Structure 1
Amino acid sequence: MFDNVFGVHESAMKLRQDRLGLLSENLVNAETPNYKAKDIDFRKAMNASLSNSGVSLEQTHGSHMKHRRLSSIGGAELVYRNPMNPAADGNTVEAHYEQSEFGKETARYMATVQFIENRIGGIRRAFRGE
């Protein structure tokens, strides 16, 4: 009865958490030479999540932080950004873009959390007979 009570929102929340993690890693490494800005295509990742296919993330340099596998939430293909203004040191992070994307993704994450909270509240009211 409650197997799919949150619909796609459970997978969406997990993917949004992973995307926020990637965006924050990009911001942290904005000054790291040869660091490549990473992201996931949310739409493709959701489709993969819903079809239960999985792709693991790959560490491109020994000093980069390790990602947890996105395949545990359905899979996501890691993509590398091509910067509008490439840095001389090979870093592809554009901090203003990453900050903008982080803000937008945070708002989407909060909307997903709000939906799930409302759904839980509805279930509680139903149990109480309200």
Structure 2
Amino acid sequence: MVGRLDDYMRFNETVLSLRDKRQTVLASNIANADTPNYKARDIDFSSALQSALDKADPNAQRTLTTTAAKHYPNPQQDAGTLADGTPLLYRGVIQGAVDGNTVDMDVEQNQFADNAIRYEAGITAINGQIKAMLAAIQPGS
């Protein structure tokens, strides 16, 4: 029973988790807008979502887990990935700056607002799922 509920909620849970991570990356870009040589980063949302859904699939082939602190993470992480293995990409340079910074505040603020709206839409979708489940278990409805 719990497994079926998890399966029912998994997609929207995964979307919200990725939206949260992307919001953090975008906020970091905005915070470093005046940092010399800072390169703006972003997540390819559709491929990251597909990868996360593949990992969440109970029938998918699993990777080995580490059992000691000295083991290398699988896959290895570097500055180009988030903790869950989601790759961080560099945003293309729209207008270069003399100090080497590639953050375009108009682009970053637009992406930040777009991601926030999509996050709110995800919350609305989850609320709808919960209301539907509650309606299904209410007696006499």
Taking structure 1 as the reference length, the TM-score comes to: 0.82
Percent identity between matched residues is: 33
How many angstroms apart in 2 are the aligned matches of 1:113 and 1:56? 32
After TM superposition, give the deviation of residue 58 of structure 1 in Å.
Answer: 3.5
**Residue in structure 2 matched with residue 64 of structure 1 by the alignment:** none
The answer for the alignment partner of 1:58 in structure 2 is 78
1: CA distance, partners of 2:28 / 2:114 = 16
Any conservation in 1 of the 2:40–2:91 contact (CA below 8 Å)?
Answer: yes
Distance in 2, matches of 1:58 and 1:35, equals: 17
Runs of 4+ with deviation above 2 angstroms: 53-60
Q: Is the 8 A contact 1:55 1:77 kept in 2?
A: no
Aligned pair count? 120
Q: Do residues 125 (structure 1) and 132 (structure 2) align?
A: no
| Alignment partner, residue 77 of structure 1 | 87
Tell me which residue corresponds to 2:102: 92
Matching residue within 41, 48, 51 for 1:48? 51
Secondary structure of the structure 1 residue equivalent to 2:9: coil
Which runs of 5 or more residues in structure 1 are unaligned? 61-66
Which protein shows a greater Rg? 2
Q: Which amino acid aligns with 2:102?
A: T
Write out per-residue CA displacement over residues 77-112 of structure 1, whole angstroms, 9 at most, x where no aligned residue. 110012111111111100100000111111111111
Corresponding residue to 1:12 among 15, 39, 46:
15
Equivalent residue letter for 1:22: V
